[in-house]
Amino acid sequence: MDSGESPQITRRTTRLSALAVSSSSDAGTHKKTTAQKLSLKDLVLGEEPLILDDLLSSFPGRRGQIIDVLRLLGPLGSPMLPIFVYGGASMGKTSVILQIFRHLKRPFVYASCCTCYSPRILFESILNQLMLHQRDEKHCYSRAKCCERPSDFANFLREALVNILDNLKGTSMKSSTRKISEYVKGNMIYLIIDNLELLRDWDKSSTILPFLFGLPGILKLPEVGIIFISKASPDTFYSNSGYMEPVPVYFPGYTEEELRQIFMQKQANPEVYSSFLKNVLKLFSRVSRRVNELSTDFSVLFEKYCEPLEEMVNVFGGDTKQKKQDVERKLFSHLEPHISPALNKIFRISSLDAEADDQKARGKGSSRKLGGRETIEEIDFHMSTSAMYLLLSAFLASRNPATLDASLFDSIGGLDNRKRKRKCFEKEMEHKATAEQELLIKGPGTFPLERLLANYQCIMSVAEIAADKEQQGNDSPGTESREDGLMSDVLLQLSSLCNANFIRKGGSCPLEGSTRYRCTISEELALKIARSLKFPLSKYLSRR
């Protein structure tokens, strides 16, 4: 637990290859081990039993999540809905799930998108484990099945799962296999797919993700349970494919007290380590609360902290309280010069991780040419140019009063802040503050289709004028591609935006009798879209 989730992943991978690994000093044992075939027993983690109290005490701050997962898994042989476990990095997600299955002694197959970095490797890793196939020298390091397409994987997976389930049912009925049934509980098999957020960067992620989420409907096997583990929330994976939504289980960040309990586990000298944590934990937890990052720095700092103890004997064993405090101050003064460099290092690592994630998200938007000019998308999803202009039109229609449309889209274009610079009196300031508060409470307003189309036509004319000016400056042709890209079916784009919940349909007005719409995107997202189109949104946004 001190190193987060990675040790548990290592245990899992070495468990399946344990029969092929042995001491180099005993060649005979090694040959005997590699010749032995895998069995159902190898689909269970660990042979030593793990009681519930030990499971709960091993993961401070994760009692609620463990109880929730146990409740969702249910008793032996009970069907379950897919589970989506998510939370930040190094929050114990993988470790908790694997140790829960060790406690339950239920067979499962584990695959990580970190090591299985392509659909083919992911599919073959799952099939190798289900078919009890070991890639070793005896099998010429071959694969159990070779499949690249999701359709082939679904057929092979169903065949392998049916064989495994038949073996599980036969094991529970035959008295000759009673020893195996002591290690393998129940007649269900579980698929655990870890690091699911990495799958979004794959080339065929748009088809693989809906396929994995739709596996329960494809397999139609109630004896199969599926668990997804991800650092990203389930909102980032949803699509319109119509699959069964998994049940989310959130792993929040650790508190300072929970971090203290984690680092105090299995310490050889708990009194000295407790005094060490009292000096460093509060400082470092403000920068990062990832267990793997903190444990790396704490191991180095604790060695520095204990260096003066080599000259002291029985410092913490039975001396007076005043003497202990003097010793702690001496130890801290020796450690203090090393704290700032360690803090800077961990802060730099956390900042680089955040920047890398941001750059990866921005890198998804491809640069394209619109009317001879190159636009760099800063949004992390794909949307056509006409749909983005239509979404900006809806955003302005929801945020601006209808009475300002004529003045906003006049021949000058936009609000002129230099007009009517009058002195604001106290009553006017209070009225403005009250109006802003009412606008915040009311939220975005509704608008009819006619107003949306009028705003869209005005925005498109502004975009065409800006594109023509830039084209004249660059002296480059390309108006034909711009016209083809922008002239599309507006009603079809509106329907797509409504399906994506960017725009919502409201109730029809009793006086007008037409359907009204409301834009649901935030101002931050609208500004990102406007920047990607190089459209001056703030110039047309009324602040009242």
DSSP result, 135-152: -STTTTT--S----SHHH
pLDDT band at 488 (very low <50, low <70, confident <90, very high): very low
Determine the residue type at 18. A
At 458, list the tokens.
């005005």
- What angle separates helix 321-363 from helix 291-306, to the nearest 10 degrees? 150
96 Cβ neighbours under 8 A, 6+ residues apart = 59, 62, 65, 66, 69, 251
Structure confidence at residue 122 (pLDDT): 92
Asked if residue 118 lies in contact with residue 201, where contact means CB atoms within 8 angstroms, the answer is no
Q: Which residues pair with 368 in a beta bridge?
A: 375
Structure confidence at residue 373 (pLDDT): 36
The average pLDDT across 266-271 equals: 85
Distance of CA 108 to the CA centre of its chain: 23
Q: How far is CA 187 from CA 101, 161, 214, 280, in A?
A: 14, 11, 22, 49
Structure confidence at residue 72 (pLDDT): 94
At 305, list the tokens.
């902290």
Residues of the chain above pLDDT 90, percent? 19
Determine the residue type at 338. H
SS3 readout for 346-412: HHHHHHHHHHHHHHHHHHCCCCEEECCEEECCCCCCCCCHHHHHHHHHHHHHHHCCHHHHHHHCCCC
Q: Is 374 exposed, middle or buried (0-12, 13-18, 19+ CB in 10 A)?
A: exposed
pLDDT band at 44 (very low <50, low <70, confident <90, very high): confident
pLDDT higher than threshold 70 for residue 479: no
Mean model confidence pLDDT for the chain: 75
Least confident among 117-121, 136-140, 429-433, 513-517: 429-433
DSSP H helices, 413-478, are 426-442, 449-474
Structure confidence at residue 420 (pLDDT): 42
Structure confidence at residue 428 (pLDDT): 60
Residues of the chain above pLDDT 70, percent? 67
The average pLDDT across 316-324 equals: 64
Least confident among 41-55, 117-131, 151-165, 345-359: 345-359
In whole angstroms, give the CA distance from residue 26 to residue 392. Answer: 71
Q: What global pTM score does this model have?
A: 0.58
At 276, list the tokens.
């060490």
The average pLDDT across 226-243 equals: 82
Q: Tokens 């065409």 label which residue?
A: 464
The average pLDDT across 459-484 equals: 58
At 515, list the tokens.
């359907």
Helix/strand/coil for 90 = coil
422-444 pLDDT per residue, tens: 444 555 666 655 655 555 555 67
Structure confidence at residue 260 (pLDDT): 92
At 217, list the tokens.
């409907």
pLDDT band at 164 (very low <50, low <70, confident <90, very high): confident
